[in-house]
Structure 1
Amino acid sequence: MSVPLPSGFRYRTIDADGVRINCAVGGDGPPLLLLHGYPQTHLIWHRVAPELASEFTVVVADLRGYGDSDKPDTGYSKRLMARDQLLVMRALGFERFAVAGHDRGGRVAHRLALDSPEAVTALAVLDIVPTRFAFEHADKAFGLGFSDPAAIRASCEDYRAAASIDLEHDAVDAGRKLTCPTLVLWGEHSFVGTNYDVLAAWREYAAEPVGEALPCDHYLPEEQPGSTASAMRRFFGGPISR
C-alpha cells in the first residue's frame, strides 16, 4: 500500500456474515471505529489514526465494496453496511464503541447509531448531511459528481442504495433522533459547507449535535488532519466512550 499505517497497526480480515471486511487495529484505550467515504479506503485516516491511537484503540475498516473488503454484487444498503461494521467490532471484542465516518462512511455511521444504539456510545460525522435531508433539499446543484470493475460496480450499488432502499429505511425512522452524543465536522469550502446549514440539518436527526467548520474542502482527514484529530480527541475523550 502506498500510504501505510504505522507498524503499531495490525491488519485483520473479519467475516461479517459471509462478507470479508478488511480492517487494521492499533492503539490502546476505548474502542473507536473510523469509516472512510467515496472513493477512498481506510487509508484516508492514515494521518489521523496514529494521533488518536495514543488514547484509543482505533479500528480503521474498508466498507464492503471498497479497498480490500469483499465486493458482493448486491447488498449496499447502509443498514447492511452498518451491520458489517457492528460484526467487525464484536469480532474484535468490542460490544460498545464510538464511531466516526467521513462522507459515505458518515451515512453508514449514522445508520449504525440508529440501528444499534446499545452499541454506539458516541458518533462523529464528517462533511455529510443525512441522506434523507440531502434528497429532500436537492436542486440542480446536487448530483453524483478504479480500474477494478468490481469496485466500480460496488460503488454504483452504494449510490443506488442511497436513492432507494436507504430512503425507505430513513422514512420508517422519520422523526426519530439519535440520542448518543454527536459531533459534526465539515469543510467550510466543501459542497456540504457551502450549500447547507450543516448543524441545523443534523439537529433534525440528532438530539444535541455539536460541531464546527474546518478551513478546508471535503477531505478533512487529509487536508486538516491535526484539527480533525484534535476535535475528535476532545469529543471522544470524555467518559461517554469508556
Structure 2
Amino acid sequence: MAPHTVLVSERPMPEDIRAEHRWPEVRGTRLHLAEYGGTGTPLLMLHGFPQHWYAWHKVAALLPDGYRLICPDLRGFGWSEPTPRGYDMDALAEDALALLDALGLERVGLVGHNWGAHLGFRLCLRAPERFTGYLALNMSHPWPRHRAVLPNLWRMWYTAFVEYPVLGRAVLRHWPGFTRFLLRHQAADPAVWTDTDLAEYAAATSVSAPAAQSLFWQYVLHDIPALVRGTWRRHRLTVPTLLLGGERDVVVPPSLLAGSEPYADELTVRLVPGAGHFLPQERPEAVAEGIGELFAESR
C-alpha cells in the first residue's frame, strides 16, 4: 500500500459511538463509509470542504429512528483512499452511484453540503431515477444568474490559495491556520467551532491536500467553462429539491440562490436566519427539519 494511503487510513478518527465504519471497494478504490442507523429510509450524505463524514454528526444526533445515514468520505478525503485522478464531478458522481450499487440500494434520499451539494446536483441531473429527493445546503444550483454571479466573484478569493497544483497542495498541507481561518470566517458565529473541531479538520485537510487541490482545479477546468457556456440550461431538475442557504453565508450569498424556476420541476429555496456557510454545524436542527420535511413520505 502506498505511504500516503497508510497515512490516510491510520490517522485516528473522531469518536462517535453511534457510527459504524466500513471500507467498501468502489471502482477500484477503497472508500470509507460511516453509517448511522442500520435500517430505515436510506439517505446518502455528501460532505464538503474542508470536512469529511464527521460533518454530519450533529445532524445525526437530532434525527429520530427510521433513517439510515450513509456518510462516505469522498475519494481522497477523510479515510478514503487517494488516487492520482478522479476528482472531477463526473468521476465523483460515478463513485457515488457505484457505492449505491455496492450497497444494494436502488433509490435513496440525497443530502449534500458545499462541494457535496454541488456533486448532489450533478447526481440528480445525471441519474434522477436513483433519488427520492434532494436536500442541498450552502450551494448555488446549476443555473445561477450571471448578473448575480459577477458581483460575488470576490467572495471566492480564497480559492486562489487552493486550486493551483503546487501552491494549493503546499498551503493545505503545511498551513493548518488557513483551514482554521476558513472555518471560522465562513461561519456566522466562529464560536460554533470547538478547538477539537478546528484541530480535526485542519489535520484532515493536511492529509487530503492533493485531493482537495485537485477538486478545486477540476472545477476550474470543467465546471466554470460549463457555467459560462450555459451547459446546464439544457438539463432539467426533476428530483424534488429543497435548497437551504445561510442568511449570512459569505461564500454563497442569498442572491446566488434565485433563478432556478425555468429549469426545475420542484425546487424550493429557503434561508436559515442568522446562519453562515456551515449549516450542518451551525444549524443542525434546520437540516434535520429539512430532512424530515423532504423524506417523511418515504419513512
Please say whether Structure 1 and Structure 2 have the same fold, judged by a TM-score greater than 0.5.
yes
* Structure 2 counterpart of 1:213, one-letter code: L
Structure 1 position 104 matched with structure 2 position 115:
yes
Name the counterpart of 2:243: 184
1:206 to 240, 261, 264: 264
CA distance in 2 between counterparts of 1:175 and 1:46 reads 37
Q: CA deviation at 1:211?
A: 3.2
Normalized per residue, the structure richer in strand is: 1
CA distance in 2 between counterparts of 1:160 and 1:235 reads 33
Q: 1:41 to 1:206 in 2, by over 3 A?
A: same
CA distance in 2 between counterparts of 1:40 and 1:125 reads 16
* Structure 1 counterpart of 2:219, one-letter code: A
Name the counterpart of 1:151: 208
Q: CA deviation at 1:55?
A: 2.2
Contact 1:102–1:126 (Cα < 8 Å) also in 2: yes
Unmatched segments (≥5 aa) in structure 2: 1-11, 159-171, 174-204
Structure 1 position 18 matched with structure 2 position 18:
no
CA distance in 2 between counterparts of 1:53 and 1:76 reads 34
* Structure 2 counterpart of 1:95, one-letter code: E
% same residue: 29
Structure 1 position 162 matched with structure 2 position 219:
yes
CA distance in 1 between counterparts of 2:215 and 2:143 reads 15
CA distance in 1 between counterparts of 2:21 and 2:28 reads 18
- Normalised by the length of structure 1, the TM-score is 0.87
Aligned length: 238
Counting only pairs closer than 5 Å after superposition, residues 229-240 of structure 1 correspond to structure 2 as 229-239=288-298
Counting only pairs closer than 5 Å after superposition, residues 121-132 of structure 1 correspond to structure 2 as 121-130=132-141
SS in 1 for 2:31: strand
Normalized per residue, the structure richer in helix is: 2
Contact 1:71–1:150 (Cα < 8 Å) also in 2: no
Choose 173-182 or 105-114, whichever is displaced more.
173-182
Query: Considering only aligned residues, what root-mean-square deviation do their CA atoms show, in Å?
Result: 2.4
- Normalised by the length of structure 2, the TM-score is 0.72
Deviations 1:147-176 (A, max 9, x none): 466621211110111122234666544331
Contact 2:140–2:252 (Cα < 8 Å) also in 1: no
Q: CA deviation at 1:50?
A: 3.3
Name the counterpart of 2:154: 141
Name the counterpart of 1:63: 74
Choose 161-170 or 71-80, whichever is displaced more.
161-170
Q: CA deviation at 1:52?
A: 3.0
Rg larger for: 2
SS in 2 for 1:196: helix
Q: 1:87 to 1:134 in 2, by over 3 A?
A: farther
1:224 to 283, 291, 297: 283
* Structure 2 counterpart of 1:56, one-letter code: Y
